[in-house]
Amino acid sequence: MASKSFYAIISGAGSGTGRAAAVRFAQAYPVVLLARKPESYNAIVDEIKQAGGQAFGITADATDEAAVNAAFETIKKELPGSKLAAAIYNVNGGFARKPFLELKREELDASLDAAPKGFFTFAQKTLPLLLDSVSDSPHPPSLIITGATASIKGSALFGSFAAGKFALRALGQSLAREFGPKGVHVSHAIIDGGIDTPWGKSFVANGGVEDGKISPDAIAETYWHLHTQHRSAFTQEIDIRPYVEKF
Amino acid sequence: MASKSFYAIISGAGSGTGRAAAVRFAQAYPVVLLARKPESYNAIVDEIKQAGGQAFGITADATDEAAVNAAFETIKKELPGSKLAAAIYNVNGGFARKPFLELKREELDASLDAAPKGFFTFAQKTLPLLLDSVSDSPHPPSLIITGATASIKGSALFGSFAAGKFALRALGQSLAREFGPKGVHVSHAIIDGGIDTPWGKSFVANGGVEDGKISPDAIAETYWHLHTQHRSAFTQEIDIRPYVEKF
Amino acid sequence: MASKSFYAIISGAGSGTGRAAAVRFAQAYPVVLLARKPESYNAIVDEIKQAGGQAFGITADATDEAAVNAAFETIKKELPGSKLAAAIYNVNGGFARKPFLELKREELDASLDAAPKGFFTFAQKTLPLLLDSVSDSPHPPSLIITGATASIKGSALFGSFAAGKFALRALGQSLAREFGPKGVHVSHAIIDGGIDTPWGKSFVANGGVEDGKISPDAIAETYWHLHTQHRSAFTQEIDIRPYVEKF
Amino acid sequence: MASKSFYAIISGAGSGTGRAAAVRFAQAYPVVLLARKPESYNAIVDEIKQAGGQAFGITADATDEAAVNAAFETIKKELPGSKLAAAIYNVNGGFARKPFLELKREELDASLDAAPKGFFTFAQKTLPLLLDSVSDSPHPPSLIITGATASIKGSALFGSFAAGKFALRALGQSLAREFGPKGVHVSHAIIDGGIDTPWGKSFVANGGVEDGKISPDAIAETYWHLHTQHRSAFTQEIDIRPYVEKF
């Protein structure tokens, strides 16, 4: 039975990982899905409801401070009295693979908007709510961040994307060190491999070998584990990759 | 109900983490405990049996190749036909905190014996068995290694201990890269903090704050999660620390 | 005798490291100093000239694309026919030490402006010039980046500053991998400690012990060494800290 | 003119890096070369003498404590009153590239002997001598360690070699933190690429491109720079790789 007095929120719901996390956390909490377009969350909301869970979506661009503010006002009305147990920042954007001298400054901006800037706004909104849940939430209130290979390696041709992801990791580390002692679990996952999504079937990873792409459900299962870790045993950073991935 | 055809083995069972891992994995598998002295595992074996699980201990020094060989002969007789699902290397030894010029070469040797050398023997024994389980084990066969802060940082006065732990991590990384593609999950946990054990009550960590020492049961829960990860989403390295730990 | 046909440029000349690097590189090249205010470079230009070197300053905000473009137009006129041998990005900005929930988004923006954004513009301007010097420069053309402790560690209360510095490091890594094989040496220095500057005398580091703050001249000497490394032996990342610094 | 009252010692002189370091440091100091076989140092001693420097060799296996002790007795007699300014640990050994299950424990032992164990003995001998030079040596007394790619990455098939190199790095870090504040500079170089030696001409690196293998003289130049760094600006770790090397 899902706890009705705590909820989870997922920013960037419209990806494979976003959907899977929503479905997994909906086994325990009502789930709020933030995405730029309703098409990104409508089907997920339906899926959760049909499985007996509770969910609703809000259209908001993570990089738009006013839109994110409005989203949290909506949540207050939709889930009166409910407290935040888990917040997942899963926004992608600013991906570009090209020679540095062909990059436009807008492409760097897009990466910084989607990663450190969008997360900054999301974290400033959610951390006070998570702090408020420390005393009574079923598990340590959690802020989980989706990173990538580019969070720890600036590969050739991936400079602008890596800039955003490195910056996002920096913020996550800093928040873990500041808010961990206050009881909030800030965790950063390095997703190191292609993700197996319905719309990404044409992308072949690891020679097309079975399970050569990461199952979003498996990521979600690890996110749930992070959320349920005892506060004496928090994980700050975890890597997730297919068994066949080179690293 | 425990699967009878697969078992788990824990080397270094006589520590807080060893006991907790044994108890946790015994919920699913018969568990074999290796330790230097029967006193280290007798009570754990009893505890598991009373909880309805199956366990037995074998006296063996992880750094003694012949003793480890004999242990695996014993296992064959005690659990005929059973296959290895999970192996945990949790041996401690060679800890020394002292000025470098006061260190004896024997202290470096003790650290290397307990870490890379003991693990080398354990891994050479267990990896063929884990490979043999890939096709039918309930979860990807797993080799889990217990590391420490000293696995990634050579602090002043901890040189010999860090030498062993760094070397252990090197082997773990190499095996993850070699055996991951064959279906075996090799994972390394960096335990970054004091562990809460009955015999360590006098050791005060983080000012004595509640949950300032790591719960061994919480470590075991994360080890179990690592073991059950889908092969498309393996974690190679994970840190575990109390919410109040400085890092 | 200084080579007249190659020059060096330093962005962020108005700091201890900027001055020292300018003076050091002026032993070999005419030096162009970029800073936001003429006060930041006037004295340095004088110092270099009095020592028999050649230098001039240009007022430009590194984060202002148009101003940087104009600066390079000025250089073309001032040093006709001269080619770029070394470019140093040493801009500081966006430093803030405060609780995350008190940070303003403008503070994050300032850090991102000074670090990845300013560097992006500087690198897009200088890399084509450095590439053009590969065949005939006295040493491999170099792009050297000043980083900090916050480039590799997101400490509590330093989130916004670390976000910028991490992102800067990401770009540096990516450029090293893309432009190294083309003969340009991209190097990143992690300055891990307080710097000994005339205006920072009141800041006490390491208990005020002698040489407990980093000599800017020593940093400059290492930058010069990086610039003169043979292309078969490039250093991508180097740490620099006082002998007494904890790390 | 070389300073006669300070000397340098190089363990593992019989490699490309060892020879080059000896020749470079001989520009400033008498140099002692340790190697397992006189053939490894005879030609280098001749080369240094012909260039007007001072050098002699001692046959000693770095992993043999008694032999190393005897070597330092010899040095006392050969260079009476001279003090140690720089010590370089450049021993190679224990390299093996093979599947883990084919490795012999002796191969792991060989790697641990050459790396942490040999270095432990060398460091225990040289650190008291280096400490004794702090007050009057021309540059901060230095202990420089040659590492490799395998110092920071445990690649598949390189487990035993990486175990030794990781452990060596751990010791170096620990010593840097303990002896840095006492004025001794402990530095670790990660040599990431093939080295260009006369006997390695058949080894093709980076497609045979010019300067695709590291010039030992270039490594030596960087070692000399490390030795001459001001104590307010020590480098603990540095990477060195060809411009064309993938990383």
pLDDT tens digits, residue range C148-203? 999 999 999 999 999 999 999 999 999 999 999 999 999 999 999 999 998 877 88
Show which of residues 157-196 on chain D sit within 8 Å of chain B, judged by CB atoms.
Answer: 157-160, 162-175, 177-179
**Per-residue pLDDT tens digits for B150-204:** 999 999 999 999 999 999 999 999 999 999 999 999 999 999 999 999 887 788 8
Show which of residues 195-224 on chain D sit within 8 Å of chain C, judged by CB atoms.
Answer: 196, 211-215, 217-219, 221-222
**Closest Cα of chain B to D152: distance in Å?**
8
**Per-residue pLDDT tens digits for D109-139:** 999 999 999 999 999 999 999 999 999 999 9
- CB < 8 Å to C174, chain A: 100, 154-159, 162
Which of B177, B213, B231 is closest, CB to CB, to A232?
Answer: B213
Residues of chain D whose pLDDT is less than 70? 1-4
Q: Quote the pLDDT of residue C1.
A: 41
**Closest Cα of chain B to D60: distance in Å?**
18
**Closest Cα of chain B to D181: distance in Å?**
11
Q: State the ipTM, two decimals.
A: 0.97
pLDDT over threshold 70, residue A202: yes
- Are residues C215 and C196 in contact, defined by beta-carbon separation less than 8 angstroms? yes
Question: B77 Cβ partners below 8 Å, 6+ apart?
Answer: none
> Over chain D, what HEC string results?
CCCCCEEEEEECCCCHHHHHHHHHHCCCCCEEEEECCHHHHHHHHHHHHHCCCCEEEEECCCCCHHHHHHHHHHHHHHCCCCEEEEEEECCCCCCCCCCHHHCCHHHHHHHHHHHHHHHHHHHHHHHHHHHHHCCCCCCCCEEEEEEEHHHCCCCCCCHHHHHHHHHHHHHHHHHHHHHHHHCCEEEEEEECCCECCHHHCCCCCHHHCCCCCECHHHHHHHHHHHHHCCHHHECCEEEEECCCCCC
Q: Is B58 helix (H, G, I), strand (E, B) or coil?
A: strand
C152 has a chain A CB within 8 A of its CB: no
Q: What is the pTM of this model?
A: 0.97
Q: Quote the pLDDT of residue B3.
A: 46
Q: Quote the pLDDT of residue D26.
A: 98
Give the residue-averaged pLDDT of A152-162.
98
- CB < 8 Å to D235, chain C: 222, 238-240
- CB < 8 Å to B183, chain A: 243
B154 to D166: CB separation less than 8 angstroms, yes or no = no
In angstroms, the CA A122 to CA A116 distance is 10
**Closest Cα of chain D to C81: distance in Å?**
27
B162 to D173: CB separation less than 8 angstroms, yes or no = yes
Q: Quote the pLDDT of residue A4.
A: 54
B128 has a chain D CB within 8 A of its CB: yes
Residues of chain B whose pLDDT is less than 50? 1-3
In angstroms, the CA C165 to CA C158 distance is 11
pLDDT over threshold 80, residue C31: yes
- CB < 8 Å to A196, chain B: 232
Q: Read off the tokens for D160.
A: 């035993």
Report the chain A residue with the minimal C-alpha distance to residue B211.
A232
- CB < 8 Å to D218, chain C: 229-230, 232-233
A106 has a chain C CB within 8 A of its CB: no
Which of B99, B156, B175 is closest, CB to CB, to D159?
Answer: B175
Q: What is the mean pLDDT of chain A?
A: 95
Report the chain A residue with the minimal C-alpha distance to residue B242.
A232
In angstroms, the CA D169 to CA D151 distance is 6
B174 to D157: CB separation less than 8 angstroms, yes or no = yes
**Residue in B130, B149, B213, B243 to test binding to A, most A beta-carbons within 10 Å:** B243
- Are residues B176 and B124 in contact, defined by beta-carbon separation less than 8 angstroms? no
Q: Quote the pLDDT of residue D63.
A: 84
C18 has a chain D CB within 8 A of its CB: no
Report the chain C residue with the minimal C-alpha distance to residue A173.
C154
**Per-residue pLDDT tens digits for C109-158:** 999 999 999 999 999 999 999 999 999 999 999 999 999 999 999 999 99
**Closest Cα of chain C to A131: distance in Å?**
12
Element containing residue C216 per DSSP (H, E): helix C216-228
Q: Quote the pLDDT of residue B202.
A: 80
Q: Quote the pLDDT of residue A116.
A: 98
Closest alpha carbon to D186 in D140, D132, D222, D144: D144
B211 to A222: CB separation less than 8 angstroms, yes or no = no
Q: Which region among C26-35, C53-62, C127-136, D200-209 has the lowest average model confidence (pLDDT)? A: D200-209
Share of chain A above pLDDT 90, in %: 89
Q: Quote the pLDDT of residue B4.
A: 53
Which of A222, A233, A237 is closest, CB to CB, to B233?
Answer: A222
Q: Is B215 helix (H, G, I), strand (E, B) or coil?
A: coil
In angstroms, the CA C132 to CA C125 distance is 12
Q: Read off the tokens for C219.
A: 């940093």
Q: Quote the pLDDT of residue C4.
A: 53
